[in-house]
A and B are shown apart, each in its own frame.
Chain A
């Protein structure tokens, strides 16, 4: 047998090793075997090192995450805080829009239930410039048919009357202003008496004799006698009763939330109006919150 030249030994070895592995491959394919034994040995030999590596890596990663990566955490925290603030702002805006939609829906319902009464919806765009008077400014004026002394209402109750009308805006004197007044009556006893403002949140019902029986929480409605507001619109509810001389001192909580007005109706008539009666006064449950209960028209 001829000797293999030394420079060819490696080539022969290469060929032998390749052939061996090809045979190994062929055997695996032929027997559908996967060389399980070799794999078990190899994995068994390597896996302890892998476990050690994983443990070491886990330890290093924990150290890194808990100590060295805190700068990133701070940055993430700031970003999340900014996102949170932004989301809060969006939420507030959405809540505001939802509340506005509810109010507008109530206004629409009220308007539809009084379709025969000429009225126009207006948005409150301003308030009193000073504490001397309690007025609001509406975004509609003469061009929309608004004139002085027209009544202003909400579905909850009356608001006041127009004291000035400009081409595109108008001013409304709120019921709570000390110069304001409305013809009213108690819903149960039907005792009539004007209700006026005092420059504070509660109204005053004047001229109710001490002998007349008045209940706390009794609803006060418009009498129509002032020729501005039609009858039976909610004015408020009796919040406090004191004996006076010669008349009772009755304080009334306004039915409309006069401190948070956003949309109102202006009654477009200077003639006495007759609002449809949507329910008997008995249906009008007394309201401690004043404006918490919808008007009879809205209730429908």
Chain B
């Protein structure tokens, strides 16, 4: 998944980043483990959605919608699996698949290296992700969920702030061209 590839988008000079061997797998696994383990010790850490941030980051960096959506699906299904039997497999899977696709598509068209862009994109993707989860719950699972809460806004901002620093950390996993 982390093998290099070239994105041919005509005149665009947006760089397609390649990552060190195993970096995506390790980062994904770490995100899942930390997401499952961190809130046990720090309850407020549950506001973070590290798997989503990893999905967004690799989507924006790899800039390949296919790999982005597949990575999103994998991470989402893993997250569903680790979330216990009350979360059906596919809930996060569908949402992260779409976010992975969107992040890759946007990453292929915009320069997303600037922290401000990363902040705004992450906040937007977070809200979209939650919207997709709620949509899935309401339509496919018949579970009434509110569309909007203040917690969503706070969580979006917190995740966006964390993403700015996390993405800088993940940038170090890139293979130098």
Q: Are B94 and A21 in contact (CB under 8 A)?
A: yes
Interface string of B62-97 (1 = CB under 8 A from A): 001110011001000110011001001111011001
Q: Are B29 and A18 in contact (CB under 8 A)?
A: no
Q: Would you give the shortest CB distance from B26 to chain A, in whole angstroms?
A: 10
Q: Which residues of A contact B64 (CB under 8 A)?
A: 10
Q: Are B140 and A49 in contact (CB under 8 A)?
A: no
Q: Are A14 and B101 in contact (CB under 8 A)?
A: yes
B41 beta carbon closer than 8 Å to chain A? yes
Q: Are A22 and B81 in contact (CB under 8 A)?
A: no
Task: State the CA gap A21–B66 with chains docked (Å).
Answer: 16
Q: Which residues of B contact A11 (CB under 8 A)?
A: 65
CB within 8 Å for A50 and B81 given contacts A25-B140, A29-B141, A57-B41: no
Task: State the CA gap A54–B36 with chains docked (Å).
Answer: 11
Q: Which residues A45-96 have CB closer than 8 A to chain B?
A: 46, 49-50, 53-54, 57, 61
Task: State the CA gap A61–B42 with chains docked (Å).
Answer: 12
Q: Are A17 and B77 in contact (CB under 8 A)?
A: no
- A residues touching B (Cβ–Cβ < 8 Å)? 9-11, 13-14, 17-18, 21-22, 24-26, 28-29, 34-35, 38-39, 41-43, 46, 49-50, 53-54, 57, 61
Q: Which residues of B contact A25 (CB under 8 A)?
A: 88-91, 94, 136, 140-141
The answer, among B40, B66, B85, B94, for a CB contact under 8 Å with A18, is B94
> Which 3 A-B residue pairings sit nearest by Cβ, starting from the closest?
A42-B81, A10-B65, A21-B90
Q: Are A21 and B101 in contact (CB under 8 A)?
A: no
B98 beta carbon closer than 8 Å to chain A? yes
B5 beta carbon closer than 8 Å to chain A? no
Task: State the CA gap A39–B36 with chains docked (Å).
Answer: 14
CB within 8 Å for A53 and B94 given contacts A17-B70, A29-B88: no
Instruction: Tell me the count of chain B residues lying within 8 A, CB to CB, of chain A.
Output: 34
The answer, among A26, A35, A53, for a CB contact under 8 Å with B37, is A53
CB within 8 Å for A38 and B33 given contacts A10-B66, A14-B69, A29-B141: no
Task: State the CA gap A41–B82 with chains docked (Å).
Answer: 10
The answer, among A9, A13, A26, A46, for a CB contact under 8 Å with B82, is A46
B32 beta carbon closer than 8 Å to chain A? yes
Q: Which residues of A contact B94 (CB under 8 A)?
A: 18, 21-22, 25
Task: State the CA gap A161–B105 with chains docked (Å).
Answer: 106
Q: Are A13 and B88 in contact (CB under 8 A)?
A: no
Q: Would you give the shortest CB distance from B107 to chain A, in whole angstroms?
A: 13
Q: Which residues of A contact B93 (CB under 8 A)?
A: 21, 24
B34 beta carbon closer than 8 Å to chain A? yes
Q: Which residues of B contact A57 (CB under 8 A)?
A: 37, 41
Q: Would you give the shortest CB distance from B131 to chain A, in whole angstroms?
A: 15
Q: Are B89 and A35 in contact (CB under 8 A)?
A: yes
